[in-house]
Structure 1
Amino acid sequence: MPPTNTSVAHALDIADQRHWTRRPPVRPSARLRHLLHSQDGTLLAPRLFAYPQALIRWADGDTSDLTPTRATLIEHEIYRTWQPEVRRRAHQQILEHDGCVTVQLHARFSFTTPSGEFPDPRLRRLTEDLPALHARHLFEARHGDATEEDLRRILADGIGEAYFFRALPPDQQQAAVNIADLHAVQFHY
């Protein structure tokens, strides 16, 4: 599992690559032309930590002052917005046909009970299939541009049900699982 991906949203976007019917542009200028064609530059600029004029200059091919960090942000934005209808159809087919959404995590967890929060200092490496309800919530949240915090909460609930509380009867599941420190995440579906 690649150790660099700590974003649930980006991990979902990377997993969606398998369902794309066309590849996104590769060069930063071509990526920016596509992004500026599909959304307003004044809304895109803050996400890329750039000025709208810089986006236009980069889209025209002058990438002399484009930093590697901004190029990575442009890549993440392309992955986030590429073929949204194809992505929705793929997610719907996965959910309708009892498809499996597997997550690999390398993280620390904490547990919240009525008597308080209890951090677990162990760094766990888990591979679990998410319950269908949690996979549905995760896909819906991603389509709704939910925050990273919301996506982590949904993922933590699914991991709690699939791993931590799978042997308990439903009436004994009183603890809430939280992802305290996410080192890596990857999805397969």
Structure 2
Amino acid sequence: MPPPATTSITHALDLADARHWTRKPPTRPAARLRYLLSAQDPNLLAARVFAYPATVERWAQGDGLDDLTTTHARLIEREIYRSWQPRTRRRAHHQILEQDGCVTARLHARFTYTTSSGEFPDERLRNLTEDLPAAHARRLFDARHAESDDDELRRLLADGIGEAYFFRALPRDQQQAAVTISDLHLIQFHY
């Protein structure tokens, strides 16, 4: 079964990391929230799931789960994917990079190219599946471990796609353009 479609690079990495989990996370909302509350500050968690801290703690105790909307449940699930088994995630990333593993990115996006002559947006919606160069995959994983925002991850991914797809036929001295992802419709990773 293919992973769900997303436009968040962070979430796409988290979904790919889920393939490396050694055990499944809790499935019930209260159990998920108890785990999340044990791993992070209640105020931070509440902000991420768009609820009050007292409400999150009440849900974690199993009270008032009728107030839990589909959106809240989806955000809680996203938080589980973001934070479940961090050591297993780091170990998998390390093994992939050290054993010349492949980090494949599939994206549906528009790109903009920046050269010394200016900026050139490309209106074509490209559907690309590319293996990221190892150095770019390492930067992407390092940024993810540092909790970088999606804009930074997007910039790192664009650099990797630029080298892997747009500039692969050019000698290094002619690779003067920079690639940015101007419109992202889908991103998936596989490793």
Q: TM-score range by the shorter chain?
A: over 0.9
How far did 1:2 drift?
Answer: 6.2
Picking from 162, 175, 188, the partner of 1:173 is: 175
| AA at the equivalent of 2:105 | V
| In structure 1, C-alpha distance between the alignment counterparts of 2:24 and 2:170, rounded to whole Å | 44
| In structure 2, C-alpha distance between the alignment counterparts of 1:104 and 1:144, rounded to whole Å | 23
User: How many residue pairs were aligned?
Assistant: 189
TM-score (norm 1): 0.97
Residues 1:146 and 2:164 aligned together? no
- Residue 96 of structure 1 corresponds to 98
Picking from 54, 72, 75, the partner of 2:74 is: 72
| In structure 1, C-alpha distance between the alignment counterparts of 2:43 and 2:17, rounded to whole Å | 27
Picking from 181, 185, 188, the partner of 2:187 is: 185
**Is the Cα–Cα contact under 8 Å of residues 3 and 183 in structure 1 kept in the other structure?**
no
| AA at the equivalent of 1:161 | E
The within-5 A match list for 1:1-189 is 4-61=5-62, 62-189=64-191
Q: Structure 2: any 5+ residue segments left out of the alignment? A: none
How far did 1:3 drift?
Answer: 7.1
**Is the Cα–Cα contact under 8 Å of residues 3 and 184 in structure 1 kept in the other structure?**
no
How far did 1:39 drift?
Answer: 1.3
How far did 1:144 drift?
Answer: 0.4
Runs of 4+ residues deviating >3 angstroms:
1-4
| In structure 1, C-alpha distance between the alignment counterparts of 2:189 and 2:180, rounded to whole Å | 18
SS at match of 1:64: helix
How far did 1:4 drift?
Answer: 3.6
| In structure 1, C-alpha distance between the alignment counterparts of 2:177 and 2:170, rounded to whole Å | 11
**Is the Cα–Cα contact under 8 Å of residues 20 and 86 in structure 1 kept in the other structure?**
yes
**Is the Cα–Cα contact under 8 Å of residues 3 and 15 in structure 2 kept in the other structure?**
no
Change (3 A) 1:3 1:71: closer
| In structure 1, C-alpha distance between the alignment counterparts of 2:134 and 2:101, rounded to whole Å | 8
Q: Structure 1: any 5+ residue segments left out of the alignment? A: none
| AA at the equivalent of 1:113 | T
